[in-house]
Structure 1
């Protein structure tokens, strides 16, 4: 049976749904639409626009790896406030971040579309500047997304940067400090396990961010987003199943995962591509002090990695009771 939404719904809720719809469609379709427009203009009387943009794009090619181009008017757009209220999404601080330092944060879990990461770090709808004064957040995204015309400018405007070592080095080596570089550690692979009640993190073998922190002397900050995995259901794909093997193979080839997710629709609650209205609370943990080590040994990396995992687990255990996580539920670190 299809459960339809009430006919008389407050305008505020309709606007919230519309805000989430445009965001979902942006990440599912905007790359394709932007590419079609870019190429299609060549066959119209407006071909010069493609030529001019293409020239500027060539000159601006390295920008995503050099801090990006965050634009305040993009980060402060009213649409993000409606999207924040849809779930709703809340940002929680547990410790101060010193504006004279640079930080490298791990965001967990990935979820299907990383809604909490985007709203908290790429918009100002949850008041990040007020909560962490003097700190500028930069969320990393796969470099391939910055190769799409127009779309690259949209995501850079929100504060997204390319996810490569050069990009990280550019931000973490800034001597004036005040930069928070955020990496969704579990990446595309973790998205395949994003479903309600799941707390499986791909972190055990992910040590690249630890080396970066040591090389640049950037303090580590664990972030856990409660509710991130509750937004969508996903077709059953246990490890070893034919579906999971296919998804893993495609992920290794394309660099992105293809979770078969489903949520609710616009006018009904039974199926669709919209996330469920379930709260997300993103908790930013206390920084782990890191001493700059230009050539860290494997032992140093291992020790700091274990310290990070311990602090992340402590963060989860300390706050889980506030979000109806069962007492016997613990993080599964893979």
Structure 2
């Protein structure tokens, strides 16, 4: 156990020396071979990501309130003062950390599935971009790994482009979680934040928007290839107003990570999910993966299914400060056609059948 903890410590810090020395000290016991240790580190890295998003914000908020009731209230007061002072930073480009984006833990996260980033066209650093990411899946594993870390080599494949994954603005109201997200280059998915990145932060910015959002997660399950897009036109209007090129992105395998209990449209349970999604900002899905020690048991660990994220050809968008509905509809149709073409071109390469098609809801 000490050896395992030492190894993970090196992973978290972003150094490989602790891992290597820990591996060399491993006994020759068959139940703890080098390959099994690596697999455990991969699982731990994925659970670290899941628990961070599910629990870090709530846990840190409770801790902050508790500290105010103890002799350590000064620490809580200082952090609260800093929080107030730093409140608008997420909406002004955030606080990206190259060190955090290059943590070794993300390479273990990448290799668990594994996750790959496929480049199809060059992107010019002299332009700004809006990436439409599809599908949402349960936890957006592909979006996070490809655009909030350097595990798949985004900066090397797209030199001069700075990706910023947009997520729920409510996450940036929670202590510690907000800082953790900003270190990865993640920003709030609201008008002020995206406006700043696309108009006051120079060029070479790529805002990654999971267009289907929480509603799309309700339709994610193995074997389903559907996106929520027909009535999602806000990102197109924003691209026109800022003169940012639209780039379709599709992750093959994102929906394979978990199995979800699907409720039929019109059912009482589906109605409850939709209502909670509007109230909370995220959809309460009933899903399961596998257990920590066995793929045959149920648990929070996602299934080891490859996720291949394909970045498509950019659609050049002219800047129009007040675009008409017809103009928005035209570019929206172009985007849907481009996404569908991207899906059809790569589907057989990543395990789908020629007869499979992309359902646009």
Q: Which residue of 2 aligns with 1:329?
A: 356
CA distance in 1, matches of 2:259, 2:165: 25
CA distance in 1, matches of 2:276, 2:39: 37
**1:199-240 CA distance string (max 9 Å, x none):** 111100000000000000000000001100000000121212
CA distance in 1, matches of 2:73, 2:324: 54
What secondary structure does 1:176 align onto? coil
CA distance in 2, matches of 1:27, 1:80: 15
CA distance in 2, matches of 1:152, 1:76: 19
Q: Which residue of 2 aligns with 1:205?
A: 231
CA distance in 2, matches of 1:113, 1:175: 28
Q: Which residue of 2 aligns with 1:159?
A: 185
Q: Which runs of 4+ in 1 moved over 4 A?
A: 6-9
Structure 2, unaligned runs of 5 or more: 1-29
- 8 A Cα contact 2:56 2:176, kept in partner: no
- 8 A Cα contact 2:219 2:262, kept in partner: no
Q: Which residue of 1 aligns with 2:328?
A: 301
What secondary structure does 1:263 align onto? strand
Q: Which residue of 1 aligns with 2:217?
A: 191
1:69 and 2:95 matched: yes
1:223 and 2:272 matched: no
* CA separation of 1:109 and 1:141: change in aligned 2, threshold 3 A: same
CA distance in 1, matches of 2:134, 2:271: 23
CA distance in 2, matches of 1:295, 1:194: 35
1:319 and 2:346 matched: yes
Bigger Rg over Cα: 2
Q: Which residue of 1 aligns with 2:86?
A: 60
Counting matched residue pairs gives: 329
Alignment TM-score, normalising by the size of structure 1:
0.96
What secondary structure does 2:160 align onto? coil
Q: Which residue of 2 aligns with 1:234?
A: 260
What secondary structure does 2:124 align onto? coil
What secondary structure does 2:314 align onto? coil
1:290 and 2:290 matched: no
Choose 173-182 or 228-237, whichever is displaced more. Answer: 173-182
1:278 and 2:305 matched: yes
CA distance in 2, matches of 1:262, 1:10: 23
What secondary structure does 2:133 align onto? strand
What secondary structure does 2:290 align onto? coil
Alignment TM-score, normalising by the size of structure 2:
0.89
Q: Which residue of 1 aligns with 2:45?
A: 19
Q: Which residue of 2 aligns with 1:106?
A: 132
1:179 and 2:205 matched: yes
1:10 and 2:36 matched: yes
Choose 6-15 or 119-128, whichever is displaced more. Answer: 6-15
RMSD: 1.2
1:37 and 2:63 matched: yes
What's the CA shift for 1:183? 0.3
CA distance in 2, matches of 1:238, 1:152: 36
Structure 1, unaligned runs of 5 or more: 1-5
Q: Which residue of 1 aligns with 2:13?
A: none
